[in-house]
Chains A and B, each alone.
Chain A
């Protein structure tokens, strides 16, 4: 099975700077592989191993993602090849633009049986790209997949909904987005890290994908630190019985007990 695993490089949330006016800046943030995409890549690699297939990792973004450390990082996690769509115009893309770019790249890669996306990106978490890619390609598409198995020209997936698990038979080619509990991603071995530098990397820009006019449908008005509620911050540190009595005292004043 030929599998494309989509992933995103994102600014690391712990490097968010909050400015005096409450706005946030990501200028100094280090870029990393989005958390939930590690499970996505692992799911692809496992399935390729089980079907003697091939995994191709795919991402799109501004020049910044074209960084040898990031490229080695993703390849050390098991994919056979890496495809990057790099273009400065992809620095302010919405989910639709991202999906259009990825769908075009998937068609250019060619003969793909299955596309796997993560459950959402750890920066924006819209949970939309996989679904849109599937719809744009005209392939079958399922989200919230917690388990996947290949059986010939189909896959069997378990879909984790709020109150039930659906078992579905999905015809290929297909696009699925997988939840974070689908697997525990392996840590790259020294051998994989050394091998990563030798794996093929293909770089495209938007004209390579015959894309000229890409206009995001959503514009960002502001990014701010969330509103903080003032809390009393009364701390109780005492023996269990005394602490319980103290807490009940406070809660009774609040009218709770």
Chain B
């Protein structure tokens, strides 16, 4: 019996992966199972979404890190040998994928953008060269592990046939990392993947204070704010979950509005499914103009105030 499993420490992403597992299971005549760490209602929710079996690792013990449960998941995989384990492509998810792959002597395919069923084979699409090319890969091992980010699959409807919850005993890890402390990043739990409109500042914005222009434009357009990678990593103007690109968020809005974005392929690949792309850049040769529906050649510092007051005048 072909089994497709889903695991993520992030409940919203787990729900999407269960949706993806359903799609694949239908095509291969298989069943769906979920692996859940946390309170019992999370396991119940996964069962309600139609996972036939929910392997419940229990509530996380305060002294344990999420990573301390990886040996337990490894034991489950060795015993049950699912055809495919989908893992949410967060940093924790990638850590789990790599370690589990090594335990099973297999390779994990990460940041999968699409999974194609070809007869008895599963084919995985993965971007390479920072989005410069798309590679299709076929897994040849008994168990395959793939990480999938948010926005690729959709949360399924509640099932009429909820699955059963199986308690899984904890496997003590061979080594433990000691947790010292954590610092929250300021985060608004944004879901860019679901945003209808996205305003995206890039390196053309020279100072952090100037982001008020972006805030105002986003407010007037009723848009979420995404950003390019350097604004989230390095400059730290935005949390990482806001950066769009091959290793960040994939968006599918009706409007993508790039401000001072050069249009590097690593970034644009995350926005390629936008219905309309607008770009503002003072460099008329910027790569983004070749991928835009409407391109404004001009200085964002003079153009944005003009656009903002024109939009205000219409309200």
How far does the Cβ of A229 sit from chain B's closest Cβ, in whole Å? 6
Q: Are A231 and B277 in contact, with the CB atoms below 8 A?
A: yes
Q: Are A248 and B129 in contact, with the CB atoms below 8 A?
A: no
A211 in the interface, Cβ–Cβ < 8 Å?
no
Q: Which residues of A contact B138 (CB under 8 A)?
A: 218-219, 221
Binds A, one of B17-25, B28-36, B89-97: B89-97
Look across to chain A and name the residue whose beta carbon is closest to the beta carbon of B186. Answer: A163
Look across to chain B and name the residue whose beta carbon is closest to the beta carbon of A97. Answer: B107
Considering the chains assembled together, what is the distance between the CA atoms of A141 and B173 in angstroms?
A: 12
Q: Pick the residue among B133, B233, B234, B255 that contacts A225 (CB under 8 A).
A: B133
Q: Which of B94-127 contact A (CB under 8 A)?
A: 94-95, 97-99, 101-103, 105-111, 123, 126-127
Q: Are B254 and A223 in contact, with the CB atoms below 8 A?
A: no
Q: Which of B155-206 contact A (CB under 8 A)?
A: 174-185, 187, 189, 197
Considering the chains assembled together, what is the distance between the CA atoms of A48 and B113 in angstroms?
A: 39
B207 in the interface, Cβ–Cβ < 8 Å?
no
Q: Are A256 and B255 in contact, with the CB atoms below 8 A?
A: yes
A152 in the interface, Cβ–Cβ < 8 Å?
no
How far does the Cβ of B244 sit from chain A's closest Cβ, in whole Å? 14
With known contacts A131-B94, A248-B314, A257-B314, A166–B179 Cβ distance under 8 A: yes
With known contacts A16-B132, A126-B109, A221-B137, A231–B293 Cβ distance under 8 A: yes
Q: Which residues of A contact B56 (CB under 8 A)?
A: none
Q: Which of A118-159 contact B (CB under 8 A)?
A: 120, 122-136, 138-144, 156, 159
A194 in the interface, Cβ–Cβ < 8 Å?
no
Look across to chain B and name the residue whose beta carbon is closest to the beta carbon of A184. Answer: B234
How far does the Cβ of B282 sit from chain A's closest Cβ, in whole Å? 11
Q: Pick the residue among A161, A179, A238 that contacts B233 (CB under 8 A).
A: A179
Considering the chains assembled together, what is the distance between the CA atoms of A103 and B187 in angstroms?
A: 38
How far does the Cβ of A100 sit from chain B's closest Cβ, in whole Å? 8
B246 in the interface, Cβ–Cβ < 8 Å?
yes
A64 in the interface, Cβ–Cβ < 8 Å?
no
Q: Are B306 and A229 in contact, with the CB atoms below 8 A?
A: no
Q: Which of A220-257 contact B (CB under 8 A)?
A: 220-229, 231-238, 240-241, 243-245, 247-248, 250-251, 254, 256-257
Q: Which of A163-180 contact B (CB under 8 A)?
A: 163-171, 179-180
Q: Which residues of B contact A142 (CB under 8 A)?
A: 95, 177
Interface range for A: 35 or more
Q: Are B99 and A134 in contact, with the CB atoms below 8 A?
A: yes
Q: Which residues of B contact A99 (CB under 8 A)?
A: 102
Q: Pick the residue among B137, B189, B294, B310 that contacts A234 (CB under 8 A).
A: B294
Q: Are A96 and B101 in contact, with the CB atoms below 8 A?
A: yes
Q: Which residues of A contact B296 (CB under 8 A)?
A: 235-237, 243, 247
Considering the chains assembled together, what is the distance between the CA atoms of A168 and B240 in angstroms?
A: 20
Q: Which residues of B contact A237 (CB under 8 A)?
A: 284, 296-298
Q: Which residues of chain B have a CB within 8 Å of any CB of chain A?
A: 65, 90-92, 94-95, 97-99, 101-103, 105-111, 123, 126-141, 174-185, 187, 189, 197, 221, 233-234, 239-241, 246-247, 254-255, 265, 269, 272-273, 276-278, 284, 289-298, 302-303, 305-307, 309-311, 314
Q: Which residues of chain A have a CB within 8 Å of any CB of chain B?
A: 13, 16, 24, 94-97, 99, 120, 122-136, 138-144, 156, 159-171, 179-181, 216-229, 231-238, 240-241, 243-245, 247-248, 250-251, 254, 256-257
Closest A-B pairs by Cβ, 7 of them: A131-B98, A135-B102, A240-B306, A169-B178, A132-B102, A221-B136, A232-B293
A140-B177, A231-B293, A257-B314 are known contacts; what are 5 more A-B pairs with Cβ within 8 Å? A126-B126, A135-B102, A163-B185, A226-B127, A256-B276
